[in-house]
Chain A
Amino acid sequence: MFKSFEPNKIFVITSKAPRYVLFLFIVVLTIGLVEALILSPEDYKQSDAVRIMYVHVPAAWISLGIFSSLALLSIGSFVFKNKNFALIAKSLAPSGFIFNIIALVTGSIWGKPTWGTWWAWDARITSMLILALFYGMYLLAWKIYNDKEQVIKVTSLIAILGVVNVPIIKFSVDWWNTLHQPASINILSTNTAIHSSMLVPLCIMTAAFALFSLLIFLMKYNTELIKVKNKGLNRL
């Protein structure tokens, strides 16, 4: 089943795809920025500070999505004994980490005008900080361990332990009294608290951020494959 996704077969696609993804990303980001900064309306309560949502929310969504993927890929690499899963997970992690940092920093910037503080040890913010620590540990483990078997085990363990935090982040605003507002969008229902004039730019920015994470993933995955091939040349 996984044979058609073997690195040797998909490298033809992954090596050429970045230039097209980069072009698409620039187009979608430009449209998203115009929508987010100029065309979308200000909020009746938060005024123009609400525009920070267009970078904060997509960054948080994608960092959570990528960490969940890391955990799934880690379980996959254990179950199917497929090292390509570990390579894919390793290539996804840097963009997930950067999105996590962006969510924390832009959240902090948004917090000042809306809550009057840059930081609060609130359940949602603290659990996002813990996610950043898991991302940090995951990336550090790849740098520290040289033994391939060992590094796959350690990073998989970090990803599987860390993913427990993902539902905590998601439901923290419902389980505890937090400064952070509850979710405004529910993908499982059509009931959303956001007007379409704000939802459209939010979706466009999310698409742009997803394209950026795809771009970084492809470049990083190609780097990892070439590293493997470099070692192969040594063995010839």
Chain B
Amino acid sequence: MINEIISMNGYGAYVWSAFSFTLISFTALYFVTKLQLLKEQKRFVSKFGSLNPEKARAARSQNINREILSNTSNI
């Protein structure tokens, strides 16, 4: 059964390489995108941390900024 799935009637090399290429591309794109997101989140947190209290309060008044900070609490 397993040998049949691996060999695919002699087409195994073609079938498995097509599926592997697809899954490797997915994984690579996912991690590259994730890293870019984490980088921007870290940059936001460090910039926010350097604001004086008045500016921080003004920035915090925007919903989107509060949301970014709540999503990055574990960074």
Contact = CB atoms under 8 A, between A and B. Distances in A.
Contacts of B14: 49, 52, 109-110, 112-113
Contact of A47 (B11, B47, B71): B11
Contact of A109 (B18, B25, B36, B41): B18
A219 interface: yes
17 contacts: A11-B63, A33-B19, A38-B5, A52-B18, A98-B29, A105-B21, A109-B14, A109-B21, A112-B14, A113-B14, A212-B26, A216-B30, A225-B64, A226-B41, A227-B40, A230-B44, A232-B59
Nearest to A56: B18
Nearest to A208: B26
Q: In this complex, which of A112, A223, A227 has the most chain B Cβ atoms within 10 angstroms of its Cβ?
A: A223
A233 B11 CA distance: 56
Interface in A195-236: 212, 215-216, 219-220, 222-223, 225-227, 229-230, 232-234, 236
A124 interface: no
Task: Across the A-B interface, give the 9 residue pairs with the lowest CB-CB distance, nearest first.
Answer: A48-B8, A226-B40, A49-B11, A106-B18, A52-B18, A48-B11, A55-B22, A223-B37, A109-B18
B73 interface: no
B9 interface: yes
Contacts of B22: 55, 59, 102, 106
Interface string B29-48: 11001101100110110011
A94 B28 CA distance: 12
Contacts of B21: 102, 105-106, 109
Given A223-B36, A230-B40, A110 B18 contact: yes
B33 A94 contact: yes
Interface string B2-29: 0001001111101101110110011001
A55 B19 contact: yes
A223 B71 CA distance: 12
B40 A101 contact: no
A232 B62 CA distance: 11
